[in-house]
Structure formats: C-alpha cells, structure tokens
Chain A
Amino acid sequence: MEDCQIMLQQKISDKDYMYPGHVACPGCGAAIAMRFALKALGEKTMMVIPACCWGVIAGPYPQTSLKVPILHTAFATAGATASGLRAALDMKEDTETTVVAWAGDGGTFDIGIQALSGAVERNEDFIYVCYDNEAYMNTGVQRSSATPFGSRTTTTPGKDWKRSRKKNITEILAAHRIPYAATASIAFPEDMIQKFNVAKQLKGGTRFLHVFASCPTGWRIPTEISVKIARLAVQTNVFPLYEIKNGIDYRLNYKGDRPVTDYLKVQGRFKHLTDDDIKQIQDMVDEDWELLRRKMENNLVT
C-alpha cells in the first residue's frame, strides 16, 4: 500500500494536456491536480468549470491553458451544465468524450451542492471533480464548509478561527449510491491517475473524485512544500485515501501513522493552535479514521 509512491515515474504518462504560462500562484496544488487528471482522461474530454481558482487558471479571454475544450459556467451550475453537456453529446451520438465538471470546494460543498446533488441523484453520466483547497482562495481566502476545524481564513480571523468541522463531501456523494466516489491527493500521482482511469472507464453514471489540492497562498506555507503538505495530510490520516463503489463497497488505499501535529505545525493557517486544540483535532481525526475503518470492515460487498 505504502509502496504506491515508489517507482511511480515509470507508470505515469509523459503526455501533457496543459500549457505553461497559466496564472496559478507558484506552487499551486490545483494546477498539479489538473495535470494528473488529464494524463488519465486524455484528449477526448470536455471540461465544465464554474467560478473557482481554475476559472482564472484556465486563462483570461482569449487565452486557454488546456488542450481540451472548457465550458466556463456560473458558480452554482457545474452539475447542471455538465448534465446538459452530456445530453448534447449524447444527441450527437458522441459517447466517447468524457464530460468532467471541475469545481473548487466552494462550488461543490457550498454554492453548487444543489445542482450537484440533483445531477447525482439522476446518476448523470459524467465525472465530477472537486479540487479542494479548503476555502474560497480565488476571492481572498474566505472560509467554506470545506475549511477544516482550527483554520484561520479572512472570514475566520484571529481568535475567531473556524470551530466547526469540515463537511464530509465524499460521504454525502456516496450516500447518493453513485457507481464511484473516491478521494485522491496530488502527492500520490500514481494513485490519483489510477482513480481517474477507473472513473473514466465507469461510464453510464456519476463518478465523484474529491482531490486534495494544497494552496500555499491561502494556507500560509512556503511554496516548495506544497506537495509535501498534501502528502502529510494523507500520512496523518487528516485526508485518507479511499474509494467507494456503489456507495457501499469501501476500499482504503493508504494507512497513515503520523500525528496530526506534523501536518498542522508547518502551516500558517494553524499556527495559533494550542496543544489542547491540536489534541482535539487528533481526536477528531482518530474518530473519523475509526468510522472509516468500521465501514471497511462491515463492507456489504465481499
């Protein structure tokens, strides 16, 4: 399981569907996420991007940073637009092209959840990707319901740091009983690309991928440790890597064994936390991990 990082190089396609010169911040995890995703998805892909960082990274008019078509759309409408795009392609009898909704955590957890839930309940045939950088980074680091407990943002500043837990979006999506829901991290390219491959193959229903994408700007971390932080999130079980098929078949891809403090202490957004706060976060992570472990053990599918 832990070996999935080693020798990754041989298995990763060298082909890129992204141009340089995009305007993501230095060290942007979301930019890395797109590179990996497209390595698996390939040329026959259409992107639907609502308002989010990627709305900007994809290029101001008349530029584009991707070698595949992108449909820019309104904040709340990724799920709906992707449904429509799929319907249009179906009418044109194009079943080969993969429709991908590519939204941030704001557009998924908060503003777009209605359209998303609606589309998912209809089991629309597209891949929905939430690249999660845990706040509204594009507009200046406002908290979202993906912002973790303990984090400071510009709307949870100073001693008013966020005291509610991060919404568990993957479980919400799994509860719709879609064919495939999984988490992935930019620090585990092979695992992530493999999951995009699985999602691409499972045509006919909604596939949801929750991708952890670090944000040096919003998290107050040095740019060079952007991938390292994403890896630490997995190694500390803050962001476990797992897959759920049909909403019930759980599979865990990595078992972390490091304390959360290794993850928290290197980030500016958490630097105010006391030992007691960190203890509380550790307890939450342990509780979530235990819950996940039990779901795995009680798998209805064998």
Chain B
Amino acid sequence: MERMKKQNGTEDIPLFISRSNITTEINKTGSWRFARPKYDEKTSPCSAACPAGEDIARIQMLANQESFKEAVHTILIENPFPAVCGRVCFHPCETACNRTGFDEPIAIRCLERFLGDFAIQESMKLPPEKLPENGKSVCIVGAGPAGLAAGYFLTRLGYSCHIFEASSEPGGILRWGIPEYRLPVKILAREIERIKDFGVKINCNVPMSQNFLKETKSRYDAFFIACGYSRSMQMNIPGDQAASDGLEFLRHMRREEITPLTGTAAVVGGGNTAVDIARSLVRLGLNPIIVYRRRKQDMPAFKHEVEMARKEGVKILELFAPIQIEKTGGACFLTLQQMKISGAETSGGRAVVVPDGRVTQLRRVDHVFTAIGAEPTEPWQFPPEQGPETLHLGHCTFAHRDRPLMFGGDLTNPIKSVTDAIASGKQAAMALDAFFKKGWDANADRLAPYRVGSGPALSMESYLKGEHTSRNRHIVSYEEINTDYFSTAARVLSASLAVDESVHSFLETEETYTFDQAVEETYRCFKCGICDSCNNCRIFCPEVAVVFKDSRRVIDLNYCKGCGICVVECPRNAMALEMEI
C-alpha cells in the first residue's frame, strides 16, 4: 500500500492487524448443555390454603403494579365477595405465608379488603366470561354466602339459578349474624347487588320446607341446599329459658330493633358468635363476661377477635360451664361448674374437659346470652351420611336421588367460615357441571385437575378454560425463596379506631388500606412461584440467551449452556432446571 503524505506532515501507515468479520453467533453453544432451564410457575402456599383458591401471589403482583382492576378480576373469578372476605375471613392464607419465616406474614386480608372496596367504589361488574347457557336450571335454598356463591358460579357455567330465602333479605349469616362494626350492611349489599346483576335471581320471604322442595321438584334440574345453621343450640340446664338466644340478639341488632340494656351480662360459648355478642354488648354500654368451658386458647373464635374483645374490656372466664340459672327479680344467678382438663381432642388440639368435682361458683348478672353453637332447623336439611350415590366432596355433599341434590355451606363444611361457605358453592357448581357433562361415575376424578395445590380448593379460572391448571401444583416452601432479594420490612398496619372510641359506636373498628399502604404492603410479598417479570433470569444470563419473543421471556436453547444461574437467581422459584440426559 502506498504511503500517503498528509498536508500536516504526518503519514497514514497501513495497519497489518487481522480484523474479525463475523460474530460468535455461529457457535451453537446450546450443544454443550445437559440441563435445561425452563419457566415453571408453581403454587404459592397462601393460594393453596385459601378455601376459595384465590390466586393470591398474582393478585399481589397485579396490585403491586397498580393494576387494581386486573387484581380485582383475578379475585372475582374465584370469589365474588372480596370486600366481605377482606373483613371477616379468618385468613388461613396469612398463616401459611412463607414470609413468616423471614419476618411477618403479608397482610393478605387487608389487601383483599382494599381491592374489594376499590371494586365497589369503581362500580366494577363481575368478570363477564361465561360458558354458553345450557338450558338447565338450579334451585338454591338459602341466600347465605354458600347459596350466593353457588348461584354465581353456576351462572358462570351457563345455568339459570333461582335462590330462595326465608328471611326478608339475602346474605344469611353475613346479613343477620355479624355485627355492623365488622361488616357494614351497605358493603354486603353492594356485593350481593353485583351477583344479582350477573343474572342470579333471588326470591326472599319464601318459607322453606320439605313441601316446597317437593312442589318445585319438577321445575328444576338440580337443587343446592345451603340454609345454614340458624337455630341456636340449647343449654338444657335448669332455668335456661331465662337466657336469651345469642343469634336472635345479633339478628335484632342487624334490624336495629334493640331494646336498651344495662348492667352486666354473661355470654356462654367460645365461638365467633359469643365474641360478636360480647363486643356488641360493650357498645351498648354493658359489662359482658364470656363464660367458656374449655381454655381461652381452645376458643374456636378467631384469635384476632378474642384479642380485640379483650382490649375492649370483655372479660373471659375459662374452664367454667353453667349448670343452673335462677332468675330472681331482674337479676340472673348463674351457677357455674369448674371444669378440668382430661385430655386433648388431638395432639396439640383442643382440650377435653370434665367437671372438676363439686367446685362451683355463683355469679350474679343482669343478662345471660347463649352462643354455644347452632344447628339446622329441620331434619330434611341434614345431608345424608351415606347411601348409594352419595359423595362427600370436602366442602359439599352430593346425593344423586331422582334429581341431583347437593348440600353445602355450614351443613357440610368441617370449618364453618364464610370463605369455606363460598368454597362449597364453587365446589357444588363444578361438581354439578361435571355430573351433567360426564355422568355420575366420573365425578370424583373430574375435579382433580382443577385443584389448587393439593386441594381441596378449586380453581374456577382453569375450569372455565377447560384446561389443567397451567401452574405446577408444587407448593413453594420458604427454603425455595431466594431471600437475598428481599429485605425485612414491618407489616403495613391499617388504621383502626382507638379502643375508647370503638366501644361507643358500631362504626368499623378497622379502616381500609389507603392506596399507598396497599402498594407498600405488596412490595413485601415474595410472590411465591409466579413470574413477576423481575428480569433476573435475563440480567444474569452469561450467554445472553434469555430473549424476548412476543414480549415474553424465552430461553434461546441454541445458546443456553444450561449453567442454571437463572434458576437459582429467580427470587421466587418460578423456574426449574431439568436434566436432559
């Protein structure tokens, strides 16, 4: 090459340096690989613990991205009552939360409440996805949470539903058995309204009887009985007619038909009803004491409720059972038998108690309320124990007589909670649909593919899609979370009324999260088992082999050497490494 002399006196000197002219892309290094990473979404423990099988990790993720409408839809497809459950659910999801191993569980219930209230504020409708109408109609007995849920889910599956309710308004225990300070009527009414708008017909003031069922039999293709436990159990002790029926008392409160009371009161029982009565009495200005025959820790009432009651001044007398009530003048004299522990129902379970000799206590109170449990009002409401073509499905019982007859809600649920009632409505709807489509024999197995984790919760979303849950059923454990990607942070607490304020009114004691609080709390969530697009897999890939295809991340197996860094660095176990040889 000829040397060129430039004007400034310098020369261009040819450089004899070899220059690359192709890239390394021609080396298909994927052939080195013997293990293959893949995106593999798994089940979060909260979802598996939720009776309604809500996809909680995804709901948290969507809320975190401030996609509240999508988050609400994700709840509604599995549970039409987020504002109710966000208030009254005993949140088994939080007990199962993996974050407990790190600092404190996520306040899942508070977020659900926030989203529920958001949906009400925004007048959101139920998601419209429905299967085509199939011409079949179902009669639902009882407009409690189970009946309403069954109506909602069956409508979604293409059935026409009629709900019959004996009382004047729908809602069951939610309408008549839970005090205003825990669940305002207007919140409940809005969520029920939404179900009506979806096409569920509710007929109130229709007294329920076996006769009614016989008369209407020919008009319906199936029946769902969910009339709940509405009759209080009796103490069967001398003088028990002096005691007031606790459930009746709560019903009166909900009707705002309460005669003024004063003085002291004893509430017999240890369940949520007992606590609801006691806390309501405090608000009316009384001094209540809860009398429970087992220990405080054995009370079936939710721990949080017991704690709130205690803060509001409710006393709890444990290991005493009433054996006699004498009414003298205006006062009741309660004879209480001391109880002692003789064993445990299961290891670590509730104590079994027996009378402790002759030790008794006499207590003078102005009123006595009973809340020792409830039962169905009439024998036909009991589900059959066994028999040909009787199937116990976990949340409901399916009896195939001349018509399919299903029992749900408190009648069949081992845990008598609102969310379990909703779960029974969903299970009944899916089981009935499976029955009509595939016949009796297929029933038990037909629902297995739609389980969330190991069940019994079912996913309506995957049932509607008619495909197996896309997610791996494996429930993510705390050890599988890469905690290096999280820092400890205190649980965001929702504002609540001060005790001296709360005891003077029936206003809600707890407030709904603010927008900022809701988002802040979702940052704490591990989002176990689901991809939240954190991009770690792509960031750390030494091969530049995680690429976007149609805005989804995919692994380019032409180049992936199978090192597995993406799988380990995934903070939430949404990937897996599979051996190829």
Contact = CB atoms under 8 A, between A and B. Distances in A.
Q: Is the interface of A mostly helix, strand, loop or mixed?
A: mixed
Interface in A49-81: 59, 61-65, 70
Given A3-B487, A20-B29, A9 B534 contact: yes
Interface in A231-288: 231, 235
A171 to B, nearest CB: 28
B169 to A, nearest CB: 47
Contacts of A223: 562-565
Given A3-B487, A65-B23, A20 B559 contact: yes
A21 B20 CA distance: 15
Given A6-B486, A20-B558, A31-B543, A62 B18 contact: yes
Contacts of B29: 20-23
Given A61-B20, A64-B24, A224 B567 contact: yes
A59 B542 contact: no
B25 interface: yes
B28 to A, nearest CB: 7
A18 B544 contact: yes
Contacts of B487: 2-3, 6
Interface in B545-579: 545, 556, 558-559, 561-565, 567-569, 577
A256 to B, nearest CB: 12
Nearest to B23: A19
Contact of B565 (A3, A21, A35, A227): A227
Contact of A224 (B539, B545, B568): B568
Contacts of A26: 32-33, 542, 561-563
A167 interface: no
Nearest to A231: B484
A111 to B, nearest CB: 22
A179 B349 CA distance: 68
Instruction: Please classify how large the interface on chain B is, using the bins under 10, 10 to 19, 20 to 34, 35 or more.
Output: 35 or more
Contacts of A224: 563-565, 567-568, 577
A8 interface: yes
Contacts of B486: 6
Contacts of B22: 62-64
Contacts, number: 117
A26 B487 CA distance: 30
B568 A35 contact: no
Contact of A5 (B20, B23, B484, B544): B484
A5 B485 contact: yes
A226 interface: yes
Interface string A8-44: 1100101010111111101111011001000000000
A198 interface: no
A27 B27 contact: no
B563 A64 contact: no
Nearest to B567: A224
Contacts of B515: none
B568 A228 contact: yes
B26 A21 contact: yes
Given A9-B539, A20-B29, 7 more contacts: A9-B536, A16-B544, A20-B24, A21-B559, A23-B27, A223-B564, A231-B484
Interface of B: 18-29, 32-33, 484-487, 533-536, 538-540, 542-545, 556, 558-559, 561-565, 567-569, 577
Interface of A: 2-3, 5-6, 8-9, 12, 14, 16, 18-24, 26-29, 31-32, 35, 59, 61-65, 70, 186, 189, 216, 222-228, 231, 235
6 A-B pairs with least C-beta separation: A224-B564, A27-B563, A20-B559, A21-B24, A31-B542, A26-B563
